[in-house]
Structure 1
């Protein structure tokens, strides 16, 4: 359980933050201890008023308790942890407020203590509270068998979210293999008998016929890669020239790349607009589902609370009827039966309270699981849309570079990386041990 605490002022703002339902799907004031008031803002006003009699500028100590996201943590675990924190920091019996928040399928708690010791009218000092909270957090993970985050074990082992575009962009290259490209060129060559027919056949496959600098006729694909027609069709240069005619009638490689870049940029801009519109639409749909789910969960919790209240009143009435009144009541007091029945009533009340808490926890765990499932689907889908948008933006930038002549030759880069990889994979030459022994110094 992650524990984060801070000394602070501003009770009015703190109460508003803890009760904010815009940022949290469910908010519950679980406990107000040591206050005359029955609501959170008024309770914090009491702390602020008492602090006026001291020199304390930060009369509040605010703490958040965040359990592991996939663990079912009942209220009793939170309460036990809060008691341990009080003892660790020296805040026993201080007025406190406990508030539970739920958001995106996760439940966490906030505790706010008064630092003002009313007997001595001074603020309680909290030395090294961050270190103490970290030690207690580690103990809670070990006690409950939760997986300890690396940052709790050692600060330098934290796992920052360092996923970057460059890491997955390195694998993006031309999709076709040389074998597939040759087959495409040969099929286009076989069904064409002149330059116009061959150009149209290549264009239908994503290639544009152009005038090469040294290779005569070349084709340029949608990524700006150039391919010698003679080489990829397997036909001699003279035969290519005889069928296709004068290459000067074709645009140059630079002109072809600029035309491809302009056409592709326009198409990709349209794809980008569609992708962003789809993301916005899906985000709105998930937000609608989230709001509807939260409303349904709030209704279920309200119904459960009403059911518990009704049952508690009925059971309380039943327990009170066990205690005799009048002369019979006096007799039962004298014989000790009254005290025995009273203790039994207290035990029954405690069992009933634990039962109600367990039922409430089960409902909350159910709601958390529902919210987690919705959040998981939302993050997965939105992440997919964001990746698509990022890729489209990167492609548009690549075509902008292609149009200005800044793009690099992907095939050459790939070949260089492949050669380097092969060199690294080659085993080191074995050492001639006999030669080494021959040079050993004589003893």
Structure 2
């Protein structure tokens, strides 16, 4: 289970994030230690308490993400949260727990107030990432889950992680940032010189150019500019060492003109056709997804209502077993009432456990159905990416052919000019 936590303020923004409708299912699991009974009210309450201190980042927000293919019960999440509290020194602090489901994946968010109301001081979160990393490894080992390489050794962490700036830049370009980052890093790893890198990038639809302040950038077929060092995770001096003097590269403007000409003249229609095909397929799959989400929500609502009705009926039946009047008083005097109450409490706990297991079974079944659809969605997207990559390779081949034709034309003109000059001298 991946544990990702950070200190923060902004109670209102966090509440909006926890309840955002972009998730297919949002379930408020627990609100503890607050007077309010809503997520927004609880977090604003924590913010109000923090104003009696000098702490600005008065919340600790944590996400708990199990492996997507594992069916993880609520009790496992609850046990992990209790252990996290103990490791971080947040035991007993007010908290909110919310479950999110999207694309067939289920994860939880837990938000604590860092403020100790008795002392009006904030709990220090020293070495929280190290503690969470250690606990995460323990959870993977205890449950027999396959541990990510990046968790085994931080040096092996996936290179596909990206920050918010990279994400929004990629969104503007209409591409998945994971594809962009992987393409640039694979090109770098597969090349040992500036020329080889340029050819590798062109095969993926990217062209080297000279950016501002001496930076080396890559320009894609849509004219979007990517700082090469930033996207492949190296220092600028390392990139310059392989590629050489940035002044030898064309400017971003010249590169954009070149790319635009290539796309416009050769393959823009083909790319548009592929995109239209993908859009149609994606729209159909999106319709299936929306229908499935609505059906799952309806099934959960009906299931919860049926469980509530059954729980009420069972509670009434258990209550009817207590005798009333003088007989009930006699039962209290003889201790029979207390024994019956203990028996009924055990039955109530067993019923609650049964209800939780039944609901978990429903959630797991729906997740498996959603994951199957997500595989179709991902495969459609991969097919789209592969087709675009093929077209980009064609763009690269066409560009090299045009450059060769230009060079041949220039050479021929130069030879004709020299030949005329010699004839004139004779």
Give 1:265 shift: 8.7
Q: Give the structure 2 partner of residue 49 of structure 1.
A: 48
Q: Assess if the C-alpha contact under 8 Å between 1:35 and 1:95 holds in 2.
A: yes
d(CA) in 2 for partners of 1:2 and 1:403?
50
Q: SS at 1:405's partner residue?
A: helix
Residue in 2 that maps onto 1:93: 92
- Count of residue correspondences: 318
The aligned runs of 1:85-164 (5 Å cut-off) are 85-161=84-160, 163-164=182-183
CA distance in 1, matches of 2:367, 2:21: 16
Query: Distance between the aligned counterparts of 1:326 and 1:96, measured in 2?
Result: 44
Q: Determine the C-alpha separation between the residues in 2 that align with 1:50 and 1:334.
A: 48
Shift of the 9–331 alpha-carbon distance from structure 1 to 2, 3 Å rule, reads: same
Contact 2:115 2:122 in 1 (8 A): yes
Residue of structure 2 in register with 1:339 after alignment: 338
Secondary structure at the residue paired with 2:17?
helix
* Residues 375-418 of structure 1: CA deviation (Å, up to 9, x unaligned): 1111111111121122113313422331342699xxxxxxxxxx
Q: In structure 2, do the counterparts of structure 1 residues 288 and 332 end up closer, same or farther at CA, with 3 Å as the change threshold?
A: same
Give the CA deviation at 1:2.
0.5
Equivalence for 2:9? 9
Distance of aligned partners of 1:267 and 1:98 in 2 relative to their CA distance in 1, 3 Å threshold: same
Give how far 1:121 is off: 1.1
Question: How far apart, CA to CA, are the structure 2 residues paired with 1:393 and 1:277?
Answer: 17
Question: Shift of the alpha carbon at 1:319?
Answer: 0.9
CA contact (8 A) 2:60 2:111 kept: yes
CA distance in 2 between counterparts of 1:406 and 1:314 reads: 85
Q: Is the 8 A contact 1:29 1:98 kept in 2?
A: yes
Equivalent residue number for residue 73 of structure 2 = 74
Matches within 5 A, 1:35-434: 35-161=34-160, 163-164=182-183, 268-405=267-404
CA contact (8 A) 1:272 1:393 kept: no
Q: Tell whether the 8 Å contact from 2:133 to 2:151 is kept in structure 1 after alignment.
A: yes
In 2, are the aligned partners of 1:95 and 1:113 still within 8 Å (CA)?
A: yes
**CA separation in 1, counterparts of 2:272 and 2:51?**
58
Judging by fraction of residues, say which structure has more helix. 2
What CA deviation, in whole Å up to 9, does each residue of 1:186-227 have, x standing for no partner?
A: xxxxxxxxxxxxxxxxxxxxxxxxxxxxxxxxxxxxxxxxxx
Range that drifts further, 5-14 or 381-390: 381-390
2-structure distance, mates of 1:275, 1:56: 53
Does the CA-based 8 Å contact 2:97-2:109 persist in structure 1?
A: yes
Superposition deviation, residue 271 in structure 1: 2.8
For structure 2, the 5+ residue unaligned runs are 161-180, 191-198, 204-260, 408-426
Structure 2 CA distance for partners of 1:407 and 1:386, relative to 1, 3 Å: farther
Contact 1:11-1:48 at 8 Å conserved across structures:
yes
Q: Secondary structure at the residue paired with 2:101?
A: strand
Distance in 2 (alpha carbons) for counterparts of 1:5 and 1:159: 18
Partner of 2:25: 26
Instruction: After superposition, give the CA deviation of every residue in 1:258-286 in whole Å (9 maximum; x if it has no partner).
Output: xxxx9x99674433221111011112222
Change (3 A) 1:117 1:380: same
Task: Measure the CA separation in 2 of the matches of 1:407 and 1:32.
Answer: 70
